[in-house]
A = this chain, B = another copy of it.
Amino acid sequence: MSNMTEARAGAGAAAKAAPVLTPTYEGDYVLAEHFPLESGRTLAGVTLHYAVYGRLNARKDNAVLVCHALTGSALVGSWWPEIFGRDGVLSLDHDFVICINMLGSCYGSTGPGSVDPETGFVYGPDFPLVSIRDNVRAQAQLLDSLGIRRLRLVLGGSIGGMQALEWAIHDPARVERAAIIGVAPLTAMGLALNHLQREAIQHDPEWAGGHYLPQRPPRQGLSLARQIAMLSYKSAPLFDERYGRRPNRNGEDPWGLDNQGGGLIGGRFDIAGYLDHQGERFIERFDANTYLAILRTMDTWDPLHGRGSAAEVFGRIRARLSFVGISSDWLFPPGSVRAFAETIRAAGVEADYVEMTSDHGHDAFLAEQAELVRLLQP
């Protein structure tokens, strides 16, 4: 989630970055008809923004679908470059890789910043709840239009993994393998973290109930939400190693006398400087209403909700599932991912579980791509 936000972390992160890949094609697909949502609302004129890498072969059986995480985009070659390549999970020589921007996003698909063709106004806070299942159904229409009836692999981390599993449930015949990385239905702690991020945005006076002006977005609230999220994407050992109890690298003095805000607000520690920097970068690239929309998509995901028993729902799956837990992930703890995989396996599904050993926390699937590739090899 923060692969684009590690500049301040120093040379370590930068040295690992693989060159960004350019998509073969990037564009929009507009659904032919009004799109009924699980919640009962209907969206008109739904646009899906997507990017593809490599070439679809004549038999159209070499497609791989990548599902992005909360603040990601369709440009998987930019944020996940290392899963491509000679030893990668994906090959530009053999695979046709497609990544579709989620509904609700601010990166090209229909979202709160889009104009509702029914009213002529921007959706803003009236943008409806779009579920993970809604996203999968919309993505299926785009794949249909491309003639793709077979997916060799669907994969994603975090909310991307939610989509990957829903694909295996939604269209069992189309999915050969799904890789579900660092995810299970949100626990109470995960729901709590999202609730506080939502509050941070809503409390910003510029939020104006979601009717903020584009030139006056709720910057402080969105920044604080991102910073809360960053805690949950990283791990305590990583923070100790990188920042410890050191004063902020710009020379502020946490013990000093003369600080902005009198005596109550001290000079920052380095971890605080890092978090503020992450917040500042984020508000340059993301929209607050989109953030709220996708948080809700994430919160409400439970593959069994309103659907039936584990045996009935997971029993449909024909794909081979690969679950990956991350040892230091406390947003989606590895124990939850493993238990989730076991529940699904108990329904007769072929479902492996492997664990990444990493201090990077939830973010490891973006921060340690080479290790992820190694684990995902067949």
Contact = CB atoms under 8 A, between A and B. Distances in A.
Nearest to A273: B195
Contacts of A87: none
Given A188-B245, A245-B188, A264 B195 contact: no
Interface stretch (A93-101, A147-155, A296-304, A366-374): A296-304
Given A189-B239, A236-B188, A292-B265, A41 B112 contact: no
Nearest to A260: B209
Contacts of A39: 255-257, 263
B128 A231 contact: no
A161 to B, nearest CB: 17
25 contacts: A39-B255, A127-B264, A129-B257, A129-B263, A188-B242, A188-B243, A188-B244, A188-B245, A189-B231, A189-B239, A192-B272, A193-B231, A195-B227, A195-B272, A195-B275, A200-B224, A202-B261, A203-B203, A209-B261, A210-B262, A210-B264, A254-B299, A254-B300, A265-B292, A266-B296
Interface of A: 39-41, 112, 124-129, 185-189, 191-193, 195-196, 198-200, 202-205, 209-210, 220-221, 224, 227-228, 231, 236, 239-240, 242-245, 254-257, 261-266, 268-272, 275, 289, 292-293, 296, 299-300, 302, 305-306, 330, 333
